[in-house]
Amino acid sequence: MTAKGFTTNELGQLNSFAIEPKVYVDETPRVGFTEYAEKLNGRLAMIGFVSLIAVEAITGNGLIAWLTNL
């Protein structure tokens, strides 16, 4: 007898671990000029650009002036 997510053996004992989840394998290439890589690079560039604007707003100097004053 099979219920949703549970099975019972021939003795009527409940076994809640008998149904294994389906395995999903993502075969999308993660190397090279893929859509994933381009989205990641774009997001990192946006974070970097906003960070540079924040550094300039906080210090009052641009990036080059801030780096030369270290």
Q: What is the pLDDT of residues 12-61, one digit of tens each?
A: 777 766 566 778 888 877 677 888 889 999 999 999 999 999 988 988 88
Instruction: Evaluate whether residue 25 is within a structural domain.
Output: no
Torsion of CA 62, 63, 68, 70, to 10 degrees: 110
Instruction: Evaluate whether residue 13 is within a structural domain.
Output: no
- Distance from C-alpha of 62 to C-alpha of 7, rounded to nearest angstrom: 66
pTM of the model: 0.50
Block residue for tokens 């009052």: 60
Instruction: Evaluate whether residue 26 is within a structural domain.
Output: no
Instruction: Evaluate whether residue 38 is within a structural domain.
Output: yes
Rama region for 33: left / alpha / beta (φ>0; ψ in -120 to 50; rest): beta
Say what the pLDDT of residue 40 is: 93
Instruction: Evaluate whether residue 6 is within a structural domain.
Output: no
Domain span at residue 64 reads: 32-69
Say what the pLDDT of residue 51 is: 93
Say what the pLDDT of residue 2 is: 45
Instruction: Evaluate whether residue 63 is within a structural domain.
Output: yes
Higher pLDDT, 14 or 4: 14
